[in-house]
Amino acid sequence: MPTKIEKDSISGQETTGHEWDGIKELNTPLPRWWLYTFYACIAFSLVYVILYPAIPSFSSHTPGVLGYNSRVELEGQLAEARARQAESWDAIAAAELSEIRSNADNLTFALAGGAAAFADNCAPCHGQGGAGRPGFPVLADDAWIWGGSLDDIHITLLHGIRNGGDEARDSEMPAYADILEPEQIEAVADYVLSLSGAEHDGTSAAAGQEVYAENCAACHGDAGEGLRELGGPRLNDQIWLYGGSRDEIVSQIRQPRLGVMPGWQERLDASTIKMLTVYVHSLGGGEE
Amino acid sequence: MDDVVTIEEALSTRAQKEQAQEAGLPMYASRVKVHPKEIGGTFRRLKWAVLIALLAIYYVVPWIRWDRGPDAPDQAVLADIVNGRIYFFFIEIWPQELYYLTGLLILGAVGLFLVTSLAGRVWCGYTCPQTVWTDLFMWVERLIEGDRNARIRLDKAPMGAAKFAKRSLKHAVWLVIAAATGGAWIMYFNDAPTVVRNIFTGQASTAVYFFTGLFTATTYLLAGWAREQVCTYMCPWPRFQAAMFDEDTLIVTYEGWRGEPRGRHKKGQAAEALGDCVDCNLCVAVCPTGIDIRDGQQLECIGCALCIDACNSVMAKVGRPLNLITYDTERNQEARAAAAPVPKYRLVRPRTVLYSLLLLVVAGVMLWSLAFRATLDINVLHDRNPLFVTLSDGGIRNGYTIKILNKTLEDRSYLLGIEGLTAPSLSVVGQEGEGAGAAILEADADSVASYRIYLRLPREVVTDDTLTFYFTLTDPDSGEVARNETVFRGPKP
């Protein structure tokens, strides 16, 4: 410590007393405002450490006097949000499906809730907005294997399809590779193509008509109009779940692919399933 | 004693900084505080009149009522941020029409250019809020702490009871004015009577208190503390306003040709050796930005003309011709200096003509668009997921969300139609049945109605993966039509 503070002769500023090669360091202290801000920050941090969770230990941390914690805060906010929605949830739980659709408040809530639940649970297979993808039915069109009324959709959602459940919708198309000759399969494919007016081999289709009547008409209908009670898809329209080319149809007859859908009543609560029903029904193909 | 001229020991802030540098102090010079002296005169009276008029407008306008029917606010001038509307008497602006505000700003800018090229910085000197509120704050300061010399003495005096009392009173009054300023600003964004009641009963929203506080703070700091520094350092306008000046612009000018050599007339001395300027420095003492106008036109000069008042009061006393400091053009000054005939003041110059034309064009466009402002608009959002749906008969269906903007103040029902598609059939979610390309849609007064629309086309007319067409919305009462171009998507051909 220098006993006497030396002043620089040129600038008139005080020096620190440090000297290198005759060059003396000027004493330029931190600005006052900066220092006070710094002290204020230290004071703030001390108060903060006492009031809020701060110091980590091996498995936890100091809880803080206020007991605040962002996770607790989130839980509170979620509970608050749920409480705000409670009235709407109760209304959905109490209402029949048709009542949900006829009441504007219920409908708005159900469509919003249904859209959210759909995105979480259904969109992975059925696509956003029910756009579908090969092997997974489009929900926005007007073709329904198991029916497109509110009640039909509701039952499909509750119990699912071919999942082994007692009440699940179930249908099983046999693998005709083991039953029919390859030529018969080719012929019946041509006949199926003819049902929807697609390009086909006329002679082959004529031969296939008989095979169709014996093997297929029971489930798919005499004219390919389908049979919803048995889950027999309609064949005389332009909707093909597993593809509408001749090869794809042959392949489906030989070794059918049979889609599975879980029953959602085991995973979702009744009101959510109702909202999903109304939402799916609203996608554009809903039937009365 | 009327003809005694007080000599002010006033130096411009620039001169004070130069002195400090010559004395060997560091390059950096801190602000030299300005203590403007009170002065009366023509321009001071004009400034008071402008100040009172502007403050009156500012405080009265939010209280003017304007009946718009039961569903709209009855405040004549209101920027309703929450509901996304700006009201100005009979005009109502939706968020989509914020370009009117842009137009207003352009008008303001061009108007400023025009006025500046004609008469210099009259905006800065008389009407700028910074000038108006600084003037008001200085008036308060003068009432409490006294005029220039008293304030300088008070500044130098050590803190004592009297100084503390004066200072506290001054800042308290400043804060009250600032709070009233901030509070009034809030009224332009909220219903004035409601928000005032809420502020005083503690029921106003946090935002209201925050913004009142913010504008209180900025008013207090800018008008009380920063003052001329706002004009010199913060405001961009002085930096480029010189581009609007030319030799025909009226500016505050010192007539150096007859003022110099300046000097203090002593009794018995021949006055002929000296110019008209008696070097009393009163012009410096009254200057709110602390400059010496005799140094010539300079960036800090806001053109308030108080130095003209000051100089004239002195010239009258010493019996010299008035207007040694005056509003005049450079061209005139050159003529006067050369004792040549003074040319006629030229109002019409290329730059003033250009600015006026611009002003007319922008104002005309705004008026035209306001007069023919659509009261109806339609926005169409095409569904992206799925882009299109193939139906069982092979037909293609697209989904749309249609938003109808009803800008009238009554409920309306409109006819939705389709232009540019063959054999469309259209259904509205929530309405029974399917129309052959038309539907009736309703929209409440002054609001946006939203509808889900499904549009289907037979497979054979979907010849491309993208068909462009229009939704049209017709108001059957007024015949007004809004169109929106959109697309119909289908499978790749």
**Does residue B356 belong to any structural domain of this protein?**
no
In Å, how far is B391's CA from the nearest CA of chain A?
Answer: 5
Residue A4 phi/psi, 5-degree rounding, is -120, 130
Cross-chain CB nearest to A238 (options B26, B393, B399): B393
Closest CA to B115 of B235, B309, B251: B251
C-alpha span between A189 and A200 (Å, rounded): 9
Tell me whether A198 touches chain B (CB under 8 Å).
no
Together in a domain, B179 and B275: no
ipTM at complex level? 0.76
Cross-strand pairs, B435:
B426
Together in a domain, B380 and B460: yes
Residues of A in contact with B390 (CB under 8 A): 138, 141, 238-239
Alpha helices in A171-285 (DSSP H): 182-195, 202-215, 217-220, 246-254, 270-281
Together in a domain, B134 and B261: no
Between positions 341 and 400 of B, the ones with CB within 8 A of A are 383, 385-387, 389-394, 397, 399
- For residue B388, what is the nearest residue in chain A, using CA coordinates? A131
Tell me whether B259 touches chain A (CB under 8 Å).
no
Residues of B in contact with A132 (CB under 8 A): 386
Q: CB neighbours of B471 closer than 8 A, spacing ≥ 6?
A: B378, B380, B400, B402, B416, B417, B418, B419, B483, B484, B486
Range of the domain at B214: 31-38+57-235
C-alpha span between B224 and B173 (Å, rounded): 11
Closest CA to B452 of B487, B413, B402: B402
Together in a domain, B381 and B332: no
Q: Catalogue all structural domains in chain A, each as residue range(s) with its CATH number.
A: 72-166+261-281 (1.10.760.10), 176-254 (1.10.760.10)
C-alpha span between A40 and B333 (Å, rounded): 59
Cβ-contact B48, B36 below 8 angstroms: no
Cross-chain CB nearest to A239 (options B390, B397, B399): B390
Cβ-contact A71, A86 below 8 angstroms: no
**CB-CB under 8 Å, B459 with A140:** no
Residues of B in contact with A238 (CB under 8 A): 390-394, 459
Tell me whether B30 touches chain A (CB under 8 Å).
no
C-alpha span between B271 and B274 (Å, rounded): 6
Q: How many domains does chain B have?
A: 3
Chosen domain end from B337, B360, B389? B337
Chosen domain end from B337, B362, B386? B337
C-alpha span between B87 and B80 (Å, rounded): 8
**Does residue B84 belong to any structural domain of this protein?**
yes
Cβ-contact A127, A116 below 8 angstroms: no
Q: Six-digit token pair at B259?
A: 């003022």
pLDDT tens per residue across all 493 residues of chain B = 445 677 777 888 888 888 877 777 666 777 889 999 999 999 999 999 999 999 999 999 999 999 988 878 999 999 998 889 999 998 888 988 888 999 999 999 999 999 999 999 999 999 999 999 999 999 999 999 999 999 999 999 999 999 999 999 999 999 999 999 999 999 999 999 999 999 999 899 999 999 999 999 999 999 999 999 999 999 998 888 888 888 899 999 999 998 888 887 765 555 567 888 988 999 999 999 999 999 988 889 999 999 999 999 999 988 889 999 999 999 999 999 998 888 888 889 999 999 999 999 999 999 999 888 888 999 999 998 889 999 999 999 999 999 999 988 888 999 999 999 989 999 888 787 777 778 899 998 888 999 989 999 999 999 999 999 999 999 998 889 999 999 999 998 8
C-alpha span between A233 and A239 (Å, rounded): 10
Cβ-contact B90, B207 below 8 angstroms: no
Three-state DSSP state, B158: coil
**CB-CB under 8 Å, B383 with A142:** no
Amino acid of residue A52: Y
Together in a domain, B326 and B177: no
Cross-chain CB nearest to A141 (options B26, B383, B391): B391
Residues of B in contact with A234 (CB under 8 A): 392
